[in-house]
């Protein structure tokens, strides 16, 4: 039996997903930015409008990580893509191939759905994540700068 299993998350996983969201925020030193609640996670992942999906990694039957993703679209490719919002493996389970299996699970989904690419962002200081991703052949898109318009800025834009 394989020690690592990757499976689709179900509504029963909401407390786990929420816990892992808080853990990644803590790891990234961004806990103060988390306003998510279990209720909001349930609604946005499993409600009427499903905005994202999650695959869960289990190691010897214990849930230890997740990849949270959603579709985007490339006009240049005229194909859907996958945007990986979070890939997280609990620190005590790192180095066992779990992150690699999560990425492979995501690549399998991307192939099945005829996606042209998978994209994500990495914090510049997170050298271990950068090394991990580059070990699979991913490349930084240094010529692009990520911009964000947050919800508190929407009204400002709408008044212009």
Read off the pLDDT of residues 60-85 as tens digits, 9 standing for 90 and up. Answer: 999 999 999 999 999 999 999 999 99
User: Residue 83: which residues within 8 A CB-CB, separation 6 or more?
Assistant: 69, 70, 71, 72, 118, 119, 120
Check if the beta carbon of residue 6 is closer than 8 Å to that of residue 102.
Answer: yes
pTM here is: 0.92
Which residues are annotated as catalytic?
133
Q: Determine the angle formed by the axes of helices 14-27 and 38-46, rounding to 10 degrees.
A: 110
**Which residues are 71's β-sheet partners?**
82
| Lowest mean pLDDT, pick from 25-29, 101-105, 152-156 | 152-156
Is 80 exceeded by the pLDDT of residue 1?
Answer: no
* Pairing state between β 79-89 and 118-119: parallel
Give the separation between CA 15 and CA 73, rounded to whole angstroms.
30
Report the CATH architecture of 4-158: 3-Layer(aba) Sandwich (3.40)
Domain boundaries defined on the chain: 4-158
Say whether 119 sits in a helix, a strand or coil.
strand
Taking each continuous run of H as one helix and of E as one strand, the counts in the chain are: 5, 5
Tell me, letter by letter, the H, E, C secondary structure of 20-89: HHHHHHHHCCCHHHCCCCHHHHHHHHHCCCCCCEEEEEEECCEEEEEEEEEEEEECCCCEEEEEEEEEEE
Q: Percent of the chain beyond pLDDT 90?
A: 85
Is 70 exceeded by the pLDDT of residue 136?
Answer: yes
């Amino acid at each position: 039996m394989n020690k690592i299993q990757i499976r689709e998350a179900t509504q029963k996983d909401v407390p786990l997903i929420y816990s892992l969201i808080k853990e990644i925020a803590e790891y990234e030193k961004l806990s103060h930015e988390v306003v998510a609640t279990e209720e909001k996670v349930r609604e946005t992942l499993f409600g009427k409008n499903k905005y994202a999906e999650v695959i869960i990694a289990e190691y010897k039957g214990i849930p230890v990580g997740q990849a949270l993703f959603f579709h985007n679209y490339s006009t240049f490719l005229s194909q859907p893509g996958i945007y990986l919002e979070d890939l997280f493996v609990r620190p005590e389970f790192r180095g066992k191939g779990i992150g690699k299996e999560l990425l492979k699970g995501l690549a399998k989904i991307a192939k099945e759905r005829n996606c042209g690419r998978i994209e994500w962002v990495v914090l510049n200081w997170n050298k271990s994540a950068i090394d991990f991703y580059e070990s699979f052949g991913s490349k930084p898109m240094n010529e692009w700068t990520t911009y964000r318009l947050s919800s508190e800025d929407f009204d400002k834009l709408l008044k212009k």
